[in-house]
Amino acid sequence: MSTTPKTIQIFLPGGSPTGIRVAEITTRIVQVIDVPRKLLSDFLEMPESDEVAAYFLVGESDDGTELNVYVGQTGDLRKRLAKHDADKPFWERALVLISRTKSLTQTHGLFLEWCSLQAIRKVKRYTDLNGNGGSRPHTPAPMEADCLEVFETARTLLATLGHPMFDPVVQAPQDTPPQDYLFCTVSGVDGRGLYTQEGFVVLAGSVGRKENMQSIAGTSNASFRDKLVANGTLSVNGDAVVFTKNHLFRSPSMAAVALLGTTANGWNVWKDKDGKTLDALKRQAIGT
């Protein structure tokens, strides 16, 4: 994602920050509208629901460990979303991508659907429920350039609204300074991770204990680890579990629990290559 400063405007048609939100970069024609499912009927009365659009239906898995998304495009948004309200139970919000100038065509929509699915599957932050990867339509070079610009704007607006589905949880390895890596290394555990703006990421290939220790037996932490195995984030390998992908945790401590199988203070467990704790690196360093 670009690091160029941007001005983003968010309009609240109903006056509530938890209601429908319309986001746009002030110098561009693209809007993303965030629609809570409970307010779908309100959105379907808005003129924006009568546009050609790409859209994203998002929701959590039943056990709360995964984010799911269904990607679509349509020339009849009102009818399509009403249909999905009846036939797709999983979603909690619809994120609708439209043009303020009504300049999106069906071809734009097909390209954006295809491009979005490729990005979602590449970064593996959300699980798509489409079943197929969409089809890339034939697009002349000028139209493709327009579509890619719209896609990049959508990337920024979706992330601003809390859904960074196109963005990897960590930078590419070549873009990560060696001093940023943190380690959790004790008997039976060999974990690597990164402390990020969103939380703590345990990197693919990190090895943890398969068995839960007595301190978490029968607790929500044990259930949490079991769910990571069930959804494929952790793969069982003998007496160990291995992370199959980079996985974002909301705190360093939950990342440590996933590896250690016991209660842990992640701020003290995670250390840099010189043995300095995350607490010393980040919290104690503030104000010094």
Summarised one tens digit per residue, pLDDT across range 13-31 is 999 999 999 999 999 999 9
Give the other-Cβ count within 10 Å of 36's Cβ: 16
Taking only the tens place, the pLDDT of each residue in 121-159 is 999 999 999 988 778 999 999 999 999 999 999 999 999
Judge residue 116's burial from the number of C-beta atoms within 10 Å of its C-beta, 0-12 exposed, 13-18 middle, 19 or more buried.
Answer: buried
Taking only the tens place, the pLDDT of each residue in 186-245 is 999 999 999 999 999 999 999 999 999 999 998 999 999 999 999 899 999 999 999 999
What local confidence, expressed as pLDDT, does residue 2 receive? 65
Rounded Cα gap, residues 156 and 59, in angstroms = 19
What local confidence, expressed as pLDDT, does residue 134 receive? 78
Give the other-Cβ count within 10 Å of 140's Cβ: 9
With cut-offs at 50, 70 and 90, classify the pLDDT of residue 171: confident
Say if CB 31 and CB 97 are below 8 A apart: yes
Say if CB 134 and CB 114 are below 8 A apart: yes
Region of residue 75 (left: phi > 0; alpha: psi -120 to 50; beta: else): alpha
What local confidence, expressed as pLDDT, does residue 1 receive? 58
With cut-offs at 50, 70 and 90, classify the pLDDT of residue 172: confident
**Pairing state between β 53-60 and 67-74:** antiparallel
Taking only the tens place, the pLDDT of each residue in 72-119 is 999 999 999 999 999 999 999 999 999 999 999 999 999 999 999 999
With cut-offs at 50, 70 and 90, classify the pLDDT of residue 275: very high
What percent of the chain is predicted at pLDDT more than 90?
Answer: 86
- Strands, E assignment, 86-216: 93-99, 127-128, 182-186, 189-195, 200-202, 207-209
- The set of residues, in sequence order, having a beta carbon less than 8 Å from that of 68 and lying 6+ positions away, is 58, 59, 60, 61, 90, 91, 126, 127, 128, 129
Say if CB 166 and CB 116 are below 8 A apart: yes
Rounded Cα gap, residues 19 and 209, in angstroms = 43
Mean of the pLDDT values across residues 51-68? 91
| CA 101 and chain centroid, separation | 29
Tally of CA atoms within 13 A in the half-sphere of 107 that contains its CB: 12
Rounded Cα gap, residues 75 and 52, in angstroms = 4
Give the other-Cβ count within 10 Å of 187's Cβ: 6
Mean of the pLDDT values across residues 33-50? 97
Is it the case that residue 178 has pLDDT exceeding 90? Answer: no
Higher model confidence: residue 287 or residue 73? 73
**Pairing state between β 189-195 and 53-60:** unpaired
With cut-offs at 50, 70 and 90, classify the pLDDT of residue 273: very high
- Alpha-carbon separation of residue 124 from 72, 204, 215 (angstroms): 18, 12, 32
What local confidence, expressed as pLDDT, does residue 98 receive? 97
Record the tokens describing residue 280, joined without a space.
């010393």
CA dihedral 152, 156, 158, 159 (to 10 degrees): 130
